[in-house]
Amino acid sequence: TAQQFQSGLLAGKKVVITAGPTREAIDPVRYISNHSSGKMGYALAEAAAEAGATTILISGPTQLATPDRVQRLDVTSAQEMYDATMASLEGCDLFIASAAVADYRPAQLAEQKIKKTGQDTMTIELVKNPDIVTAVAASQPKPYTVGFAAETQDVVSYARGKLERKKLDLVIANDVSQAGIGFNSDRNAVTLVWPTDEETLAENSKTQLARDLIARISAKIT
Ligand code: CTP
Ligand code: CA
């Protein structure tokens, strides 16, 4: 780590990273969320800071410690993550969207705890959340914009679809159907989907993968 820090691969650069899950409130005591641990995003923030970048980590609720030299902004909902991201873009050279953002939120936030009724079923209407990485890729000036794609099948073709649809510079694809890696694990294996080619990084610790990812991305933005 000292070696990468000394290399200064990202010295003078500003990096913004989203990480973790979001929580979408249903009522004062309940929410919709997912099992994202935030580990990959925190490892990327640590690696970016080691590489000398001014690093902002916009984090949903996690159990993780803030890496050294990283400025962390805590958010809860997708809308808060969107607002914090947009407010952090000035001078941003690299944006990495590692957060598992809830695609939908409840259409209504009940002000009081929802009570059981006599019915055996209930329905919660959901509305779409803003797509944060798409908004960053459409911003001017556009930072180098990296997304993730967690897929259970046809990993590379779905990832390439996201690269094109969201106008990203890179998608880091991972196969979340593989037991023991990816979601919530300390280890991962990824395929980098660039506009013109692909590269697979074999299973490794998220810490080491993050360093390798930051080294590859740095080469594209300097
Ligand atoms: N993303 C985002 N804002 C959202 C949804 C997703 O910034 N509201 C980002 C994620 O952080 C990730 C990328 O978009 O970098 C892809 O997320 P993913 O959930 O795989 O893709 P979706 O476009 O939401 O498609 P789907 O969930 O249907 O596969
Ligand atoms: Ca999604």
- 56-78: per-residue pLDDT in tens? 999 999 999 999 999 999 999 99
ipTM of the modeled complex: 0.99
Tens of pLDDT along 141-154? 999 999 999 999 99
The mean pLDDT value for 191-220 works out to 96
Query: What does 159-175 look like in DSSP terms, one character per residue?
Result: HHHHHHHTT-SEEEEEE
**Cα of 2 from ligand 1 centre, angstroms:** 33
Domain enclosing residue 96, as ranges: 2-221
Q: Is 174 a catalytic residue?
A: no
Q: So what's the pLDDT on residue 4?
A: 57
Q: What's the CATH code of the domain at 68? A: 3.40.50.10300
Is residue 99 within 6 Å of ligand 1 at its C-beta? yes
- In total, how many domains does the chain have? 1
Phi-psi region for residue 200, left (φ > 0), alpha (ψ -120 to 50) or beta?
beta
Mutating to test ligand 1, I would choose from 131, 183, 190 the residue with most ligand atoms within 8 A of its C-beta, which is 131
Please give the Cα distance from 208 to 14 (Å, whole number): 21
What burial letters (b/e) apply to 89-123, b meaning 16+ CB within 10 Å?
beebbbbbbbbbbbeebbeeeeeeeeeeeeeeeee
Which one of the listed residues 34, 129, 174, 184 is annotated catalytic? Answer: 34
Q: Using a 6 Å cutoff on CB, does residue 131 contact ligand 1?
A: yes
| 51 has pLDDT over 90 | yes
